[in-house]
Amino acid sequence: MPVKEFTIQHEVGLHARPASKFVQLAASFPCDIKICNLTTDSKMVNAKSVLSVLTLGVNQGHQIRIETNGEKAEEAAEALAQLIADNFGEK
Amino acid sequence: MSKVYQGISASTGLAIGPVWLYRPATIQIVRKNNCDPSIEWQRCQSALAKANEQLEQLHQRTSETIGAAEAEIFEAHQMILSDPDFLETIQTNLNTQTYNAEIAIQDSVNTYANMLLALDSTYFQERAQDVLDIGHRLIHILMGVPTDSFELPEKPVIILAEDLSPSDTVQFPRNKILGICTQKGGPTSHTAILSRSLGVPAAVSVPFDWETIQNGQMAILDGAVGSLLLNPSPDQQKTANQRQTAQQTEWEHLLKHAAEPANTSDGKTIEVVANIGSADDARHALTLGAEGVGLLRTEFLYLNRESMPTEAEQTQVYREIFEIMGNRPVVVRTLDIGGDKAVPYIGFEEEANPFLGWRAIRMADNQPDLLRIQFRALLRAASAETDLRIMIPMISNADEIKMARNLLNQAKQELQNEKIDTPETVQFGIMVEIPAAAIQARELADLVDFFSIGTNDLTQYALAVDRTNERVAHLASPFHPAVLRLIRMTIEGAHVKGKWVGLCGEMAGDPLAAPVLLGLGLDEFSMAASSIPGLKETIRQLDSQQCKDVANTVCELLTAQDVKAYLQKLL
């Protein structure tokens, strides 16, 4: 089960456009994807739910953890990592 | 009787016209028990489909009439309609509670809205409005009530509302809105953002009173200062009309150049920064061309609460602001509070003269932790990129500076011992607001990296005028030559020692004062964000050498009136 940790660099955090892109990408994979905000010590939530992701309150500089589990788990983790590395396509 | 309500600026501009109260009828949702969950779920699903259609149309209409970026909000709403967790919450509610779809949706919506409201950042808190907006739409559909059931009057109006949802705001045809004024919301609420992109004057958090206002009453809404004037006199109305015409052309021109530096006509670049009190202010300031923060007030952290804000709480608030400002300078003023404010946990006593009493740095002797913890939080919040500058208010002697500096060093040492990163360089400065500090500027400059002149207090202390006493407040003019000479003394004292000087009173944003301050050699002008575009333009038209003559001349004049008359002739 791939587990990855990231620091969100985008200036609005996981909010607005970055949150939408993140959730849309997560939803395109068949596996379970969970996310939590390490900085605020939040619980794990469904990464395919934009409302749940918003309730994590991930601001710029916050650390998040993503866990993927099931079919195409590796690919999903890789794709989400790439999205974050590309600063949600706003480099 | 005319009456002014003061709120927060959301979108600049002046609106003059009749008010119209927007109070959407609250529909009564009837709770039904022992419903069949599968039937109620079907009702939910058709409501979701219908809502999706409506949002699709709103999206299309908004991108055509306003812009693609503004329309995005409705795409976000559509995403929520298909959010798996949201749908699951509704379904679980239906199955476990066996009540009707309306109540299930209302409960689910409230759950998420409350979770969002509990977050620290206003950015996220404001998303609660989106969830509520969707719930509102779904429940209207379920009950067969049209969602957007209102009709604006024929003639354009200033809309008064408790708060506006994104759907509300874009439903109003632009040509029917003169201005928007809401009781709730901050500068980053949808109302504010949409008003700005629509170019509609708007004020938020305006504490107007529903009960005393009627549709059609005349009002003047000043978006730049965030005030609503009800029942203006004919004179007030005439002045407002003239201002409006002049302002519109002027403001458009100013905004176009707000992000450009303020270079004098002889090529000297002047730093123009903002006075702020929150992360929202910080964002707003950047849109208006602020090059940094010259005064971050920190009192808001301490007011309206029963106990000291913790180090972690403070760190989080400062960090959000530092992150917004990036590598731009941020001057933070440490706690400036006294017996005029009720702060139970600090232990103020009633004082005859709180402005001459136990306040700000004077509390540090007795309560060093107040300052030490604030220093720790500031140092922790700063990243390697942050250009942090800490400023101590209410300094009247060198010992206070030394004491504050010791506390700062102590905080830094503690953090290093705890293996917590602290920024390598932090500038340390003082407010010059007590005449004693201005007079001793040359000596005090050795102990600091910078001065920031607080002209509001400097004026009140130099002229012995209580600014809050209406009978004498008119005497408190920073144009009094005695005040100008104190400013001159401060700047000269600092420059001799190679230190920089800012000014963060209202005077900094006053175009009339600009030639004097520039001529006296002021390095940094810090003001309300809304003044920045205008002041930058003023500076661009000034010649720093000529301003030196102006400054020397006005310092030798006899009265504040003489100074103002002289400066007005220069305009």
Q: What is the pLDDT averaged over residues B377-402?
A: 97
Instruction: Output the pLDDT for position A32.
Output: 95
Q: What is the CATH number of the domain that holds B562?
A: 3.20.20.60
- Check if A90 contacts B (Cβ < 8 Å): no
Q: Are residues B333 and B477 in the same domain?
A: yes
Q: CA of B80, closest CA in chain A: separation in Å? A: 7
Measured in degrees and rounded to the nearest 5, phi and psi for residue B32 equal -120, 135
Binary contact (A11, B324; C-beta < 8 A): yes
Asked whether residue B333 falls in the same domain as residue B363, the answer is yes
Confidence of residue B300 (pLDDT cuts 50, 70, 90): confident
Where b means 16+ CB within 10 Å and e means fewer, A6-27 reads bebebbbbbbbbbbbbbbebbb
Residue B246 inside a domain? The answer is no
- Name every chain A residue with its beta carbon within 8 A of the beta carbon of B79: 20, 23-24, 50
Beta bridge partners of A63: A7
Q: Given a cut of 60, is residue B256 above it in pLDDT?
A: yes
Identify all chain A residues contacting B84, using CB atoms and an 8 Å cutoff.
Answer: 46, 48-49
C-alpha span between A1 and B504 (Å, rounded):
55
Overall number of domains in chain B: 3
SS3 call for B429: strand
Same domain, yes or no, for B199 and B291?
no
What's the pLDDT at B145?
78
What residues of chain B lie within 8 A of the CB of A48, using their CB? 84
Band of the pLDDT at B150, cuts 50, 70, 90? low
Mean pLDDT of B509-536: 93
* Contact call for B83 and A50, based on CB within 8 A: yes
Q: Which residues of A are catalytic?
A: 15
End-to-end CA distance of chain B: 35
Q: Can you tell me the distance from the alpha carbon of A35 to that of A31, in angstroms, rounded to the nearest whole number?
A: 13
Domain coverage including residue B107: 37-143
Q: How many CB atoms lie within 10 A of CB B482?
A: 13
Both tokens assigned to B238? 């005439």
CA distance B301 to B280: 14
For residue B399, give Cα distances in angstroms to B376, B390, B403, B431, B497. 21, 17, 6, 15, 19
Rounded to 10 deg, the angle between the B544-555 and B481-496 helix axes is 130
* Residue B238 maps to a domain: no
CA-derived radius of gyration, chain B: 27
Q: What is the pLDDT of residues B318-348, one digit of tens each?
A: 999 999 999 999 999 999 988 666 677 887 7
Q: Are residues B69 and B210 in the same domain?
A: no
B120–A48 CB contact, under 8 Å: no
C-alpha angle B345-B349-B353 in degrees, rounded to nearest 5: 130
Residue at B241 is within a domain:
no
Output the pLDDT for position B304: 67
Q: How many CB pairs under 8 A join A and B?
A: 54
What is the DSSP track for B112-177? HHHHHHTSS-HHHHTHHHHHHHHHHHHHHHHHT--TT-----SS-EEEEES---HHHHHHS-GGGE
For residue B565, pLDDT over 70 is answered with yes
CA distance B279 to B4: 27
Domain count, chain A: 1
Residue A39: closest C-alpha in chain B: B316
Is B237 part of a structural domain of the chain? no
Residue of B77, B78, B82, B123 to mutate, testing the A interface (most A Cβ within 10 Å of its Cβ): B123
Same domain for B66 and B19, yes or no, is no
d(C-alpha B430, C-alpha B402), whole Å: 11
Answer with the one of B165, B199, B232 that is the final residue of a domain: B232
Per the domain annotation, does B32 fall within a domain? Answer: no
Domain that holds residue A12: 3-89
Q: CATH no. for residue B162?
A: 3.50.30.10
Q: Do B84 and A17 touch (CB under 8 A)?
A: no
B262 plus B401 within the same structural domain:
yes
Q: At CA A59, angle to CA A56 and CA A60, rounded to 5? A: 145
Cβ of A51 within 8 Å of Cβ of B323? The answer is: no
DSSP letter for each residue of B467-504: TT-TTTGGG--TTSHHHHHHHHHHHHHHHHTT-EEEE-
Tell me the shortest Cα–Cα distance from A76 to chain B, in angstroms. Answer: 18
pLDDT at residue B28 greater than cutoff 90:
no
Q: What pLDDT score does B281 carry?
A: 81
Residue B523 in tokens: 């390095």
Residue B484 and residue B540 in one domain? yes
Q: What is the CATH number of the domain that holds A77?
A: 3.30.1340.10
Is residue B216 located within the same domain as residue B313?
no
> B335 and B199, same structural domain?
no
- B132-158 as b/e: b if 16+ CB within 10 A: bbbbbbbbbbbeeeebeeeebeeebbb
Chain A nearest CA to B76, separation (Å): 7
Instruction: Tell me the chain A residues in contact with residue B127 when contact means C-beta distances shorter than 8 Å.
Output: 15, 54
- On whether residue B355 sits in a domain, the answer given is yes
B121 touches chain A (CB under 8 A): yes
Q: Could you tell me if B432 and B535 lie in one domain?
A: yes
Looking at residue B148, its pLDDT comes to 57
Nearest by CB to residue B85, choosing from A16, A52, A60, is A52
Kindly report the pTM of this predicted structure: 0.58
pLDDT digits (tens, 9 = 90+) for B398-436: 999 999 999 999 999 999 999 999 999 999 999 999 999
Indicate the residue of B85, B119, B319 with minimum beta-carbon distance to A49: B85
Of B79, B86, B121, the CB nearest to A20: B79
Of the candidates A13, A24, A49, the beta carbon closest to that of B84 is on A49
DSSP class of residue B299? Answer: G
Which residues share a beta bridge with A68? A33
| pLDDT at residue B498, as a whole number | 97
**pLDDT exceeds 70 at position B187:** no
Q: Do A51 and B383 touch (CB under 8 A)?
A: no
Complex prediction ipTM: 0.95
If contacts are CB pairs under 8 Å, which of residues 12-71 in chain A contact chain B?
12-13, 15-17, 20, 23-24, 45-46, 48-52, 54-55, 57, 59-61
Q: Nearest CB to B80: which of A12, A16, A50?
A: A50
B92 and B131 inside one domain: yes
Whether residues A49 and B86 touch (CB distance < 8 A) is answered with: yes
pLDDT at B470: 61
Question: B313 and chain A: CB distance < 8 Å anywhere?
Answer: no
B499 and B391 in one domain? yes
Nearest CA in chain A to B83: A49
CATH code, domain carrying B101: 1.10.274.10
